[in-house]
Amino acid sequence: MTVPFYRAFEDRHRGSRELIAQRLQVYMAFLEPLKNLYQDLDALDLGCGRGEWLELLVQNGFAPSGVDLDSGMLEACQSRGLPAEQGDALSALRSLPDACKVVVSGFHIAEHIPFADLKVLVAEALRVLRPGGLLVLETPNAENLMVGTQNFYLDPTHERPIPHLLLSFLTEYTGFARSKLLRLQESASLVEGSAVDLMSVLGGVSPDYAIVAQKAAEPEQLEHFNPAFERDYGLALDTLAKRYDDQAEKRSHKLEVHTDLLHRNLTQISTHVEHTERHSKHLEASVRELLGRNANAEARLDGLEAGSNQLRHQLQDLSIRSRLADDRYEQSERMGRELSSRASEAEARLSAAQAINELLQTQLLSEKNQVLQLQAQSDSLKSALGEHADRNRSLEAELAELEAAFQAIALEQLAPQQEDLARRMQQLADAQDREELLEAQIDTFKHEATKAETHIRLLETSYFQASEQIEQLQQSLAHAEEEVRKAHSQTEVESLNARINELKAEAEQLNNRLNESLGNAHHWWERATHLGDRLNESLGNAHHWWERATAHETRLEQVLSSSSWRITSPLRALVRAFKWLIRLPFRIARRLLRPVLATSINMVLKRPGLRQRLARGVRSVSPALFNHLERFARHRGILSTGTAHSHVTGAAPITSAPVAHLSAAAPHHDESPEESVSSMTSGARRIYTEMKKASMNKEIH
């Protein structure tokens, strides 16, 4: 190995002069008290290297000298005017007289020489040191696993690592009064208490250490060095390992707490998912049934619309026939005008014709009355359609409420909405019954329209007969006086024309009302279609929540089948067993004390005087304890529910006339619980039973 190689190696891996000088400041706490003991502060540095330690000693008032075998290292010292010479460390020590130095130091030389030579070096250092003098030996720390297994062997001149216990024992064995271990060059962040990971345990221990040994001296002289020798320096392997174990234990505890919390959350989610799934299935069945009924209602509404269309066609036929009758009347009017020119010839026959006209007028009045009846029936149909429209609005509002309730139930609970759903289904059934009644009314209306058509046909027949008689009158009244008969015939024809116009207007009004009724029926058919669409949307929402519940169940199964769940199973079982063991003494004590307490209460109740005194005393001290004892006695059957208070307190039941008067004024308060429950609905009875059970359980515990 050439000298330039080792100089280059030292410059790269040793560190800069400034860094080394900063690290060496730690030894000044040991060297400063020497100034109080001696005036001449001679020091010897073995293996002085580049001279950082020599330079620091000169700056602090010491008179150092250095020895090193490497000429390349000595060049760095000589370039700075430091007192260093080339030579062997042992030879340099042997050449010195006894008790001539206050400091003998050797930085990173102990690992370069055999152990036998190291023993000689320590012994020679003890010889040349003055009383209270210091031996400083710094070397790599094998306690650092990275240094002891890898970094130490980076320098090819190293012999073997030297544990600090061995070097410390060597100084004490040689004869030094005391020694101090200094762990050096550790990470500042680890010293300040940062997190310790596995790499910190392996390589975070102080990479170097030094043994500072002091030669025996007078006690008052050694006292000056006590502060430096009593301090702790650096990081040990056991310290970092303990910090790492503490952090691991904390993480394990946090993981255990998080696992328990996750288990409770999963249990709650599982319960909620099961509850939601059951109610979703029940609601889905109810909605399907409601959708089926709505489909039936839609079919009936289609039938109603078809019947209304048929009735509309019949009214249109009636209007056409009315127009034909009007045309025939115009024709008869023309014939009447011709007849008026011949009325002078048959006045007597004209009287008969007048009688026939009066009969025709009577028939027209009868037909008008029938049309009025038909109009009244149309108004009734319109009213029924209005009721049906109101019912559809109510049904639509109920369906909207049902959809909102379904969304709320999918997030929370569905049970309280079951009765409301049943009631709305009953209302839907009532709506179907009303639709059937409306269909019956429409059938009646069709029958009346048929009767009206029959009357119109009879009117046409009578009109044809009148036409034939008028033709006969034309032949017999040719010689009547034209002016008188014309005026008389003109008046009667105008009266008949006015009546026909009134009948026509009434028929048109009836047709308009029927068209309006048909429009309303189409409107409600559209509303029913919209209602069906909303029901389909509600079914889609129910399917969405069912998919959400299935996804939650799948996630729960994945968690329960995961490796972490199986690994933590023994831990959870251990926690449950530990909790059960903690509660076991309280349960045993409670079971043993309950019979004794029941016997004591029976004994006290049999003695009225003692009962009253104890009741007053316990109530004055702790009303809560008194109430708890009273509930315990009722649960054990020692006291009945109605007489519990009077037995315990010793007070007589209060009965008076005002109470009786109040009872008579409000008889519903005197009903027994069984009668009140029997008058409730099924849902109210179920809620009452659950509340009663909860109250009993609370009293027991």
Q: Please answer whether residues 111 and 159 qualify as being in contact, where contact means their C-beta atoms are separated by less than 8 angstroms.
A: yes
Decide: 597 and 638 in contact? Cβ < 8 Å.
no
Q: Which residue has the higher pLDDT, 335 or 480?
A: 335
How many residues comprise the chain?
A: 701
Q: Is the pTM of this model over 0.75?
A: no
Range in 198-202, 356-360, 459-463 the model is least confident about = 459-463
Sequence spans of domains, the chain: 3-235, 271-558, 654-701
Q: Which tens digit of pLDDT belongs to each residue from 500-555? A: 677 667 657 766 766 676 666 566 667 657 766 776 676 677 677 778 767 877 87
**493/501 Cα distance (integer angstroms):** 12
Closest CA to 385 of 293, 561, 523, 236: 523
pLDDT digits (tens, 9 = 90+) for 634-689: 888 887 655 444 444 544 333 333 333 333 333 344 444 455 556 566 666 666 67
pLDDT for 497: 66
What average pLDDT does the structure give for the chain?
Answer: 75
Segment 591-650, tens digit of pLDDT: 888 888 888 888 888 888 888 888 888 888 888 888 888 888 888 888 765 544 444 454
Tell me what pLDDT residue 224 has. Answer: 92
* Token pair listed for 435: 């639709």
Tell me how far apart the alpha carbons of residues 335 and 622 are, in angstroms, rounded to a whole number: 116
pLDDT at 476 over 80: no
Give the DSSP per-residue string, 438-449. Answer: HHHHHHHHHHHH
Segment 203-221 shows an average pLDDT of 89
Query: Is the distance from CB of 341 to CB of 486 less than 8 angstroms?
Result: yes
Residue 175 gets the label, from left (phi > 0), alpha (psi -120 to 50) or beta, of: left
Please give the pLDDT value at position 472: 64
Nearest to 322 by CA among 504, 512, 509: 504
- The CATH classification of domain 271-558, taken from the options 1.25.40, 3.30.70, 1.10.287, 3.30.160: 1.10.287
| pLDDT reported for residue 232 | 87
Q: What is the pLDDT of residue 671?
A: 44
pLDDT at 123 over 90: yes
Q: Locate tokens 């009767």: which residue?
A: 451
For the domain made up of 3-235, the CATH class stated in words is: alpha beta
pLDDT tier for residue 171 given thresholds of 50, 70 and 90: very high
One fold for both 3-235 and 271-558?
Answer: no
